[in-house]
Amino acid sequence: MPHGNVTSGAAFKTAVRATGILLIILALASVGAYFYMQRQMLGALEDQIAEDRLALDQIYLQSGETGLIGVINDLRQPLAVKQRVIGLFDASGTKLAGNLNRPPLRDGWSTSLLNISAFTAAEDENETAKFYLNKDRIGAFTIVIGRSLTDVEVQQGRVIAAFAGLGAVMSVAFLLLGFVASQQTLRKLDRMTRTLDRVSQGDVAARLPVSATQDQIDRVSAAMNLHLDRLSMLMQTTRASAAAIAHDLRTPLSRAFLLIDRAQTALDEGADARDLIDGIEAELVRLNSIFDAIMRISRLETAQAEVNFVAVPLEPLLVDLAETFAPVAEERGQSLCLVPLTPGLALRGDAPMLAQLLANLIQNAINHCPTGAAITLGARAEPGQVRLWVADNGPGIPQAERERVFELFYRIDANRTGGGNGLGMALVKAIADRLGAQITLLDAAPGLRVEVTFPQPEEADLTA
């Protein structure tokens, strides 16, 4: 796996940005810690210098100039030269005692790099160091007291080194974690790419791997697997529909060609071919109805059909359908009746599409019910919805087949020898979906009950 691909991943880039932010935070924190420690340690030195000054003031008050000079020159501790500086000077700046050769120019507190000598002239010791000094007056003299800043600088250096080390360790850790995370992500993306390549090459059973970590890529993979499942089902449905279309088109086409051949023969023999031509027209009408139904379903499913949603009174619509199909049912020895409706019952939708939906359900019941069957058509208002139904006491539909009847060209008759083209219920489902309705197939014990449930419109919508 090329490192360039890994380092260009989002995880590694995020780690780089996080490392940059971390380094900025650590730099600011180290500067704050540096100055805070400096202030605290300088405060401690000021306290020590103040204590020395107080002691020297007491000595000067008690023993005068001679006693003060003697005490300063008696400071012979081994660390005195390195850690402490004291100097007593007269009005002209001449050194009277101590290990400081000349006083600083500024009064008060100051920091200076000094070359200091031992407290007594007999000792030849010199030390160069940085000191924190306080210059003040004691009587007629100038006194300078200071403490070494070596320990302060050492501690400050340790703080800077600690922050620098912490920044280096955390930067390496962040970048390493980002690199590993980016590498894992790239592996998953590579597997996704390979799987999708297999799908594009026709392996509809290929699915994306989903690990137990359930990270974002795993969730995307799971969602894509669901889409691939649907795609596989759609491809299977498409293959079945293609085979069904081929079968349903081949039959009328074969009949039409056969009738054309017979009509040609009859014309050649001088016989009357009008009945044969009428048969050809009937087969072509059947072909046209199949194509028309397919196009209507396609427009409905792709939301290309114009739908004019208005308040649709149900009573006149259902009465008209009952009057239209009652004679058709009677011709087959069946009965069709309309259940009494609640006056003023209406829903918001498209009247022609609603009429088409109910007409298909009624015609489907007439086609599949035997002689003597009773078919009912009705509607009622329920809390929050309006329910329409077409019920019969015919053979019904087996439970396992009820969802499949909405598929294009699906027929319970596997041999496809019965009437119809398997598009009626598919068109009903497409119209119901377009109108925002829910369609349900129920057992009428005996027979089938098809219910179409619409959301109950507001009163304002019904008057629109």
Domain boundaries along the sequence of the chain: 216-301, 310-462
Res. 33: pLDDT tops 80 = yes
pLDDT given for residue 113 in this prediction: 84
Distances from the Cα of 409 to the Cα of 240, 327, 375, 432, angstroms: 8, 28, 24, 18
Q: Quote the percentage of the chain above a pLDDT of 90.
A: 10
Predicted confidence at residue 382, as pLDDT, reads 87
Closest CA to 98 of 78, 128, 68, 127: 68
Q: What is the pLDDT of residue 460?
A: 39
Tens digit of each residue's pLDDT (9 = 90 or more) over 225-272: 888 888 777 677 666 556 555 655 666 777 777 888 888 888 878 787
Mean pLDDT of the chain: 79
Encode pLDDT of 297-326 as tens digits: 566 556 554 556 788 898 998 999 889 888
pLDDT at position 125: 55
Q: Is the pLDDT of residue 77 over 70?
A: no
Q: Tell me the C-alpha distance between 314 and 345, whole Å.
A: 6
Model confidence band, residue 334 (pLDDT cutoffs 50, 70, 90):
very high
**310-462 CATH pick, 1.10.150.120, 2.40.160.60, 3.30.565.10, 3.65.10.10:** 3.30.565.10
Token pair, residue 89, equals: 């000077």
In this structure, are residues 159 and 33 in contact, taking their beta carbons and an 8 Å threshold?
A: yes
Average pLDDT of the segment spanning 100-125: 72
Q: Which two tokens stand for residue 148?
A: 């070494």
At 37, the pLDDT band (50, 70, 90 cuts) reads: confident
- Is it the case that residue 82 has pLDDT exceeding 80? no
Q: Could you tell me which of 304, 247, 245 has the C-alpha nearest to residue 430?
A: 304
pLDDT of 240: 59
CB atoms within 10 A of CB 21: 11
Asked if the model's pLDDT at residue 347 lies above 80, the reply is yes
Name the nearest CA neighbour of 379 among 398, 357, 409, 352: 357
Q: What mean pLDDT is predicted for residues 56-68?
A: 89
Say what the pLDDT of residue 136 is. 92
* pTM tops 0.75, yes or no: no
Strand bridging mode 310-313 / 126-138:
unpaired
Predicted confidence (pLDDT) at residue 79 exceeds the cutoff of 50: no
